[in-house]
Amino acid sequence: MDRFKKDHSRRSFIKGITLTGAVVSCFPVMESFALATKSARKLKAGKGMVILFQGDSITDGNRGRTKDPNHIMGHGYAFSIASRLGADLPEKQFTFYNRGTSGNKVNDLAARWQADTLDLKPDVLSILVGVNDASSVVFQREPVMTIEKYEEGYKALLDQTIAKNANVIFVLCEPFILPVGKVKDNLGAYHADIINRQSVVRKLASQYNAVFVGFQEVFEKACKRAPADYWIWDGVHPTVAGHELMAREWLKQVGKRVSF
């Protein structure tokens, strides 16, 4: 079956769900895409490595806005990753930053990129953004971030970062959804948009020799064990268990490029 037929079949399936209101736990598992990383050398994590998490509310995790180390990483996947690496490798003296900001789209990241990314001089930069961009299209919220604007803006952020540090390791995380809440109510529109944004992130990961973290497939596989709302309570924001899945996948994929 060629790609067009697959996409047509997938959209027909979703349209059926939307029209009939049938209850499903998750989408059919999407295809996985292998990215070319053979040319990438595995980096040994050095002492004092700076690891920065950027994105929207999923990364934000209600993080503190002060220097209080008890709350500074929020309560999501970024916290779990930092807590594990920090506890297991205290001799490395890693520095972790969380600069996720609730509601952000690519254009919002651009507006604060200098202070919240470039000035922090990350060695590893993890980015997860896209679901708010998708919502701007689904609900026509200005500024509407089309796929073209999303890719152009995302690429500009990566270029600005490389200009400051050619050796930075990008970790590009694909945006994801599950059919719960407002997402399920607008499933056809959300799914048609999000798969295109996922394709953009995959493409950029390949172009910039970045680590790609495919969260969508992780969540869809998890739905075979428990309903969608067990993992993502509103179709967008993960539960505690969902954030744990994200942390595990992030460490797994980044561990292929960075030896901690």
Per-residue pLDDT at 173: 98
Model pLDDT for residues 190-228, shown as the tens digit of each residue: 999 999 999 999 999 999 999 999 999 999 999 999 999
Measure the CA–CA gap between 94 and 110, rounded to whole angstroms. 26
Per-residue pLDDT at 35: 40
Per-residue pLDDT at 27: 53
Burial of 197 (0-12, 13-18, 19+ CB in 10 A): buried
Question: Which DSSP letter does residue 98 get?
Answer: E
Q: What is the mean pLDDT of each run of 10 residues along the chain (260 residues)?
A: 40 38 44 41 90 98 93 97 97 98 98 98 98 98 97 98 97 98 98 98 98 98 98 98 98 96
Measure the CA–CA gap between 172 and 154, rounded to whole angstroms. 10
Measure the CA–CA gap between 207 and 170, rounded to whole angstroms. 11
Residue type at 5?
Answer: K
3-state secondary structure of 51: strand
The fold of 45-259 is: Rossmann fold (3.40.50)
- CB atoms inside a 10 Å sphere around CB 169: 21
Domain range annotation of the chain: 45-259
Residue type at 232?
Answer: I
Comparing CA positions, the residue from 1, 32, 7, 21 lying closest to residue 221 is 32
Q: Which tokens hold the place of 198? A: 């996922």
Q: Which tokens hold the place of 199? A: 């394709």
Burial of 13 (0-12, 13-18, 19+ CB in 10 A): middle
Angle at 231 between CA 136 and CA 210, to 5 degrees: 65
3-state secondary structure of 258: strand
Q: Judge contact between 260 and 45, C-beta under 8 A.
A: yes
Instruction: Determine the length of the chain.
Output: 260
* DSSP codes, 181-216: HHHHHTHHHHHHHHHHHHHHHHHHHHHTT-EEE-HH
